[in-house]
Amino acid sequence: MLTADAIQKMINAYLDSLPYDRRPSTLYAPIRYVLSLGGKRIRPVLMLLAYNLYKDDPERILSSACGLETYHNYTLLHDDLMDNADLRRGHQTVHKKWDANTAILSGDSMLVLAYRLMAQCDAGKLKPVIDLFTETALEIGEGQQYDMDFESRNDVTEDEYIEMIRLKTSVLLACAMKTGGILADAPAADADNLYRFGELIGLAFQLQDDFLDVYGDTRVFGKAIGGDIISNKKTYMLINAFNHADAHQRSELQRWTDAKAFDAQEKIAAVTQLYNEIGVDKLAQQKIAQYFEQSRKYLDAVQVADDRKAELRTYAERMMKRKF
């Protein structure tokens, strides 16, 4: 059994070794740049850990795992452009370092490269792997569209928000887990339980991201804190702030979300103070813990000896304790 850290090193080495010798080089330079920025590599690590539950040669599926990571970074590249974000992992985003057209075209090429890497798996598993990946990619696009639709709505419910982040974020972690199981010949019931495990830790992970956007440290988090507040993004935090605010707090929240001209740092400080008073920080932490606890029963149900699950359990716990 390999540790998550050893697996991450394998993934980084594989991504660093990918040849981008096609032309024009200006198309591929941003792709190399994005993948060189590092990151936690959570999705490919989860895929290899799931595979490693059953088989001891996870390096055999590195190409597919890195295909999933390439796809994930493609979505980030386009998300950054849509959000007009300046930083990703503490570095300039592609549309800032180059331009918007480059970000679109290089991102599109990343998607194609992701499919090519995913397809470099056991031929007998190709159809279920690509079918799952394609369904997941469609769901992620649907989640992104819901997220965009929510920008013009003031009546987004908590349930709608949870479904949006399930589609936009957690299904890719679920796909990673189930794909690892499929490629390792896991029983169908195990593969389904791995999917549900990944889906629930994905929900917890995204809620934690919402929390860290308010309460994280820019030096650790890798991007500016308070971006969701500045843009009035309908997050778990904002939705529940309105749901649990008293009349005065709701009026103040509405004043800040309606404001067209404001000092960014003043708005972040004021809304964060309201979150503290209303207690949405504690609500978010409780919800994160709830999803993580629910995820355990699905991993428990996987028919593999507990000692082989130990590294996956440890890695999931590390994910939930992250500060970035």
* pLDDT confidence tier of residue 223, bands split at 50, 70 and 90: low
Looking at the predicted structure, is the pLDDT value of residue 168 above 80?
A: yes
What's the rounded mean pLDDT across residues 14-38? 94
Looking at the predicted structure, is the pLDDT value of residue 278 above 70?
A: yes
* pLDDT confidence tier of residue 57, bands split at 50, 70 and 90: very high
What's the rounded mean pLDDT across residues 141-167? 95
Looking at the predicted structure, is the pLDDT value of residue 324 above 60?
A: no
User: How far apart are the C-alpha atoms of 77 and 12, rounded to whole Å?
Assistant: 19
For residue 88, the cross-strand partners are: 91
Residue partners of 248: CB distance under 8 A and separation at least 6: none
The per-residue pLDDT for 292 is: 95
| Domains within the chain, CATH numbers bracketed | 4-320 (1.10.600.10)
Return the residue matching tokens 């000896």.
305
Token reading at 28: 């591929």
Looking at the predicted structure, is the pLDDT value of residue 322 above 80?
A: no
Helix spans in 37-61 (H): 42-52
Looking at the predicted structure, is the pLDDT value of residue 321 above 90?
A: no
* pLDDT confidence tier of residue 276, bands split at 50, 70 and 90: very high
What's the rounded mean pLDDT across residues 31-53? 96
What's the rounded mean pLDDT across residues 133-154? 95
The per-residue pLDDT for 305 is: 97
What's the rounded mean pLDDT across residues 126-150? 97
The per-residue pLDDT for 272 is: 97
Instruction: Calculate what percentage of the chain has a pLDDT beyond 90.
Output: 89
Size of the chain in residues: 324
The per-residue pLDDT for 227 is: 87
The per-residue pLDDT for 83 is: 85
The per-residue pLDDT for 219 is: 61
What's the rounded mean pLDDT across residues 120-148? 97
pLDDT tens-digit readout, 62-120: 999 999 999 999 999 999 999 888 888 889 999 999 999 999 999 999 999 999 999 99
Sort residue 136 into left (φ over 0), alpha (ψ -120 to 50) or beta: alpha
39 φ/ψ angles, rounded to the nearest 5 degrees: 105, 175
What's the rounded mean pLDDT across residues 258-287? 96
The per-residue pLDDT for 220 is: 60
The per-residue pLDDT for 323 is: 64
| pTM of the model as a whole | 0.93
The per-residue pLDDT for 224 is: 67
User: How far apart are the C-alpha atoms of 113 and 93, rounded to whole Å?
Assistant: 20
Looking at the predicted structure, is the pLDDT value of residue 222 above 70?
A: no
Looking at the predicted structure, is the pLDDT value of residue 217 above 90?
A: no
CB 233 within 8 A of CB 153: no
